[in-house]
Structure 1
């Protein structure tokens, strides 16, 4: 993965650059927002400090996200006040306060990479199912046979697997799959989830893979 890292603090920047490079990432390190544009087309993730000379990190991050919404942005900041975090999370995908451990930084990079499809594993085990995301292939391991899903069912399952363990609201799922605004009371998603469960759950009446979070949405359990 190629990381665009923007940090003006030389000691911290050098430490992060060397650590991420040692872990196998390709890192472009800039000390300010100048020249950012030429690296964005080939960057998988942007890691951005808030306090920068010239244009601050919030302003740079907003511009990047507006032009390249598909690139995940992680903010790094010594400013831990809630107002700063909320401002950063208006556009950024993660907000990490300094100081931080290098293992935590990499773990957060990996989470963003999975969310934004920067890392696509060959196969994912989901209880008795084996899912190959690159081929969109679903296998029932105990029966050694494929499970055939409709395009919408597959899209829902793929989305939930990418957010495994997280409670996803009905609005989030619906708007990600249908790319339309969710209207409260719409049963479309519920119907698709029901039919999906009939194909993937051992007992659809007592689902263990796609859990209903009453009044909120759903959570997939690996």
Structure 2
């Protein structure tokens, strides 16, 4: 089973594609625009992206995704069949399928992308934590218990993992996890980091995993 993020504003097409892929064993998150994709991107295996969308078009959304998640495969769907459009899409995407298409072909192309990008589960040790890179599980090395994170805590920790050893500003963290512009004085990020530290640090009052870089932001390093 793969986790699929499918972005399509035409409801009739969206419904039958979602239904077809679900019946074939995949878990599908269907959105009608690029709004709110930050919630799903860190946890999905493949993105199916329509070009013509309300707000930001598929090309702009796809480029943003590839910039932050270069190993996440993207399949573009479009009724635009010109060579120029295909070249523009394939400049960043991994495949380009024109409408109308047969569901068998879409499924086959998704399977090819999943095989191409399939990752073996790797274990990364960060002090007393064992992080499984494929599914994001966090195990306490000493107790062997899994540390359960809530949605935003999970996405925040995954953002740190994807940017290991980098000093991240509050602006970068807030935009990367919440998808909005950071406003000075907003305590949301600070509160979530405090709750995250309470779950992953041995001593949350003196954290060693999520470092505070005074005057700049935070860092997680190996």
Where on the TM-score scale, by shorter chain, does this alignment land: which range? 0.5 to 0.7
SS in 2 for 1:75: strand
| CA-CA distance at 1:117 after TM superposition | 1.1
Q: Which residue of 2 aligns with 1:25?
A: 26
Q: Which residue of 1 aligns with 2:47?
A: 46
Higher CA-based Rg: 1
TM-score by length of 1: 0.53
What count of residue pairs does the alignment treat as equivalent? 120
Q: Give the conservation status (yes or no) of the 8 Å contact 1:44–1:118.
A: no
CA RMSD of aligned residues (A): 1.3
Q: Which has the higher contact order (CA 8 A, sep 6+)?
A: 2
Distance 2:99 2:119 in 1: 25
**Structure 2, unpaired ranges of 5+:** 122-222
Q: Which residue of 1 aligns with 2:75?
A: 74
Map 1:1-222; keep pairs closer than 5 Å. 1-117=2-118
Distance 1:42 1:27 in 2: 12
**Structure 1, unpaired ranges of 5+:** 121-222
| CA-CA distance at 1:119 after TM superposition | 8.6
SS in 2 for 1:84: helix
SS in 1 for 2:88: helix
Indicate how the Cα distance of structure 1 residues 118 and 4 shifts in structure 2: closer, same or farther if over 3 A, else same: farther
Distance 2:120 2:63 in 1: 24
Distance 1:65 1:46 in 2: 10
Indicate how the Cα distance of structure 1 residues 118 and 30 shifts in structure 2: closer, same or farther if over 3 A, else same: farther
TM-score by length of 2: 0.53
| CA-CA distance at 1:73 after TM superposition | 0.2
SS in 2 for 1:24: coil
